[in-house]
């Protein structure tokens, strides 16, 4: 053995490491001790100080000068053997367990049994990744001594609610298809070409039901079950002109030839009435189905149907009422009485009687309209111009195009809406009063659905808590006290879990109700110009344009009327 090895030795006492230096090794240096330590079996131990080797030499020299040195070797503690340490950290929702590790420093390394006991002690019994346990052990052996690392060792299973029953439309809805402008080959949109009428033959499939799915319960890493909700079922019902398929009760088929239309869970087929014109020779038209007029609807006539109305010509001072959509391919012309015209001069808020009326439960498409009352629950599309009309529209309005490409005009009249409007020009050079009466847009359907789901969960939890309350009352009647105690403990534990979910849902409801007080920004876009006389109104507030402007964006934002340059 070399002299240096005999002169410098290392010993272990419990978890401490000592260096022993031969008294006669007077020339021993701190570097020699450090080198010998790094070559020893204690090299990974935790030094008591970073300058410990210099301190040892200093103390060794003083010890040599001492008169009382009966021992032949000097010994001093220089390091500590640190075993590996494990901590299990469980997330607040009990869905993940993280193993927090400090690698050994000369002490006992991590072993499989250590990991399993740490998990057991933390109550982790589910979702343990067995392969990750091996990876943690291997990683701990290869990292720097004393280094820290974390590893997710267990994951809970998220509860998966079932899907509600849903309905697949197998053909287009005629009430929507008729108002869909067609794309040209160059990518632009032809606002006059609305596509062909959608028709089906007897026996054609219309609607298919996809049944609800079961929910899949989840589980926390502690083994607690997270309850999932099954999807809700909704019955499918054929409407008029439709029936169930004899070979497939989940499919509705056409019972006659006609135009298909849909509600959420139903399909119907309208009969189609085709007329060359509607005038005194035909009389008023009232029809269960859709009506197509290849010519004009003349003055004083009325057309009423449960489906769509399509007029290839003009509507002249006539009334049209459709359960679906209305399409007037040329124009709608009306008149105003002289009395109403005079009253408008003195009362700007007065709504005059207009001789033409188009009222659709769905959408309206018209080439142009003048002195007409237009009301629709969905979108309004005007190809060229609205002049002195009274419009009530719950959907978006496109006057001569969309966004910055819009070139249509809105001149005079009153436009009531809770949705966006795109036009090229608002008002006229003469300063014609053109009113836009705005209301707050309704919340998105997805928000209402989410709110409904939260209320459903709230009712379900309330129901389960009532059952727990009844169970606690009933368990008092059990003769066996141990059984009574065990059952009561189980019920109380379940109640605590339900109360946690209840508080979470109540917080979500509070946030959602607060969000409903806000509204999406309502935009009226004038792509080309705006003239004086254009007036916005909302909740007793008014914003009137007093100067000729270029492209302008008029806004209802945060319940305030605003104006901005169109960029």
pLDDT tens sequence for the chain (567 residues): 333 447 888 888 878 888 888 877 788 888 888 888 888 878 878 788 888 888 888 888 888 777 566 777 888 888 888 888 888 899 888 899 998 888 887 777 888 888 888 888 889 999 888 888 888 888 887 877 878 888 899 999 999 999 999 999 999 887 665 445 566 777 776 654 555 567 788 999 999 999 999 999 999 999 999 899 999 999 999 998 999 999 999 999 999 888 888 988 999 988 888 899 999 888 899 888 889 999 999 999 999 998 899 999 999 999 999 998 999 999 999 999 989 888 888 888 889 999 999 999 999 999 999 999 999 999 999 999 999 999 999 999 999 998 888 999 999 999 999 999 999 999 999 999 999 999 987 777 777 788 888 888 888 888 888 888 887 777 777 666 776 777 777 778 878 888 888 888 888 888 877 777 777 889 999 999 999 999 999 988 999 999 999 999 999 988 899 999 887
Helix 30-38 and helix 52-65: axis angle, to 10°? 130
Residue whose tokens read 């019902």:
237
Given the DSSP bridges, would you call strands 397-399 and 372-376 parallel, antiparallel or unpaired? unpaired
Distance CA 387, CA 396 (A): 18
Distance CA 409, CA 528 (A): 10
Distance CA 389, CA 200 (A): 36
Q: Which H/E stretch holds residue 115?
A: helix 112-121
| pLDDT in the model for residue 175 | 65
Q: DSSP class of residue 44? A: T
Distance CA 291, CA 304 (A): 9
Distance CA 366, CA 489 (A): 70
pTM comes to 0.53
Tokens of 165: 């029953």
| pLDDT in the model for residue 244 | 96
Tokens of 161: 């609610």
Q: DSSP class of residue 139? A: H
Cβ-Cβ contacts under 8 Å for 342 (sequence gap 6 or more): none
Distance CA 195, CA 173 (A): 13
Q: DSSP class of residue 468? A: H
Q: DSSP class of residue 45? A: S
b/e 425-436 (16+ beta carbons within 10 angstroms → b): bbbbeeebbbbb
> CA dist 541 to 439, 535, 538, Å?
11, 10, 5
Distance CA 32, CA 38 (A): 10
Distance CA 391, CA 32 (A): 97
| pLDDT in the model for residue 178 | 47
Tokens of 217: 């319960």
Q: Does residue 383 contact residue 194 with C-beta atoms inside 8 Å?
A: no
Q: Exposed, middle or buried by CB within 10 Å (0-12, 13-18, 19+), for 382?
A: buried
Q: Does residue 434 contact residue 412 with C-beta atoms inside 8 Å?
A: yes
User: Is the C-alpha dihedral spanning 339, 341, 347, 350 positive or negative?
Assistant: positive
b/e 293-314 (16+ beta carbons within 10 angstroms → b): beebbbbebebbbbbbbbbebb
Distance CA 212, CA 176 (A): 27
Q: Does residue 278 contact residue 298 with C-beta atoms inside 8 Å?
A: yes
- Of residues 421, 419, 420, 422, the one with CA closest to residue 405: 422
560 alpha carbon, distance to own chain's centre: 27
Distance CA 436, CA 393 (A): 11
Q: Which H/E stretch holds residue 553?
A: strand 552-557
Residue whose tokens read 């298909």:
260
Adjacent-strand bridge partners of 426: 410, 530
């Amino acid at each position: 053995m070399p002299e240096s090895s005999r002169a410098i030795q290392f010993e272990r006492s419990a978890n401490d490491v000592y260096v022993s230096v031969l008294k006669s090794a007077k020339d021993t240096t701190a570097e020699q001790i450090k080198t010998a330590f790094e070559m020893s079996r204690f090299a990974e131990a935790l030094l008591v100080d970073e300058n410990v080797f210099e301190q040892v030499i200093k103390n060794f020299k003083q010890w040599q000068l001492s008169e009382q040195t009966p021992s032949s070797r000097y010994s001093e503690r220089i390091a500590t053997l640190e075993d590996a340490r494990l901590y299990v950290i469980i997330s607040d929702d009990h869905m993940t367990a993280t193993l927090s590790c400090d690698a050994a420093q000369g002490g006992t390394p991590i072993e499989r049994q250590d990991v399993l006991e740490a998990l057991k002690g933390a109550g982790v019994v589910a979702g343990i990744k067995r392969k990750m346990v091996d990876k943690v052990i291997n990683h701990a052996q290869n990292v720097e001594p004393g280094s820290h690392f974390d590893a997710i060792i267990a994951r809970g299973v998220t509860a998966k609610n079932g899907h509600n029953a849903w309905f697949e439309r197998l053909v287009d809805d005629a009430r929507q298809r008729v108002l869909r402008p067609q794309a040209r080959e160059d990518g632009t949109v032809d606002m006059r070409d609305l596509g062909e009428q959608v028709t089906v033959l007897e026996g054609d499939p219309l609607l298919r039901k996809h049944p609800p799915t079961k929910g899949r319960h989840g589980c926390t890493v502690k083994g607690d079950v997270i309850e999932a909700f099954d999807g809700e079922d909704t019955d499918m019902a054929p409407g008029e002109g439709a029936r169930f398929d004899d070979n497939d009760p989940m499919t509705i088929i056409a019972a006659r030839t006609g135009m298909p239309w849909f509600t959420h869970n139903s399909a119907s087929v309208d009969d189609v009435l085709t007329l060359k014109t509607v005038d005194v020779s035909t009389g008023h038209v009232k029809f269960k189905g859709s009506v197509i007029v290849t010519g004009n609807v003349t003055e004083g006539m009325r057309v009423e149907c449960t489906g769509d109305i399509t007029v290839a010509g003009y509507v002249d001072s006539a009334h049209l009422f459709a359960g679906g959509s209305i399409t007037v391919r040329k124009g709608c012309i009306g008149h105003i009485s002289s009395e109403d015209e005079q009253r408008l001069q003195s009362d700007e808020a007065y709504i005059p009687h207009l001789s033409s009326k188009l009222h659709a439960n769905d959408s309206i498409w018209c080439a142009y309209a003048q002195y007409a009352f237009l009301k629709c629950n969905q979108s309004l599309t005007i190809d060229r111009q609205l002049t002195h009309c009274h419009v009530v529209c719950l959907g978006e309005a496109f006057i001569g195009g969309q966004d910055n490409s819009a070139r249509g005009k809105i001149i005079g009249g009153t436009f009531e809406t809770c949705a966006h409007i795109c036009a090229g020009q608002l008002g006229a050079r003469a300063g014609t009063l053109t009113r836009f009466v705005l209301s707050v847009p309704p919340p998105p359907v997805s928000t209402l659905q989410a709110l409904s789901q939260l209320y459903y969960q709230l009712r379900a939890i309330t129901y389960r808590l009532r059952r727990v309350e009844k169970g606690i009352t009933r368990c008092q009647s059990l003769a066996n006290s141990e059984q009574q105690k065990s059952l009561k403990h189980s019920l109380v534990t379940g109640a605590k879990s339900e109360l946690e979910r209840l508080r979470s849902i109540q917080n979500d409801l509070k946030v959602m109700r607060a969000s409903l007080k806000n509204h999406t920004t309502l935009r009226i876009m004038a792509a080309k110009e705006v003239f004086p006389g254009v007036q916005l109104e909302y909740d007793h507030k008014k914003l009137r344009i007093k100067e000729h402007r270029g492209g302008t964006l008029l806004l209802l934002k945060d319940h305030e009327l605003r104006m901005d340059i169109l960029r």
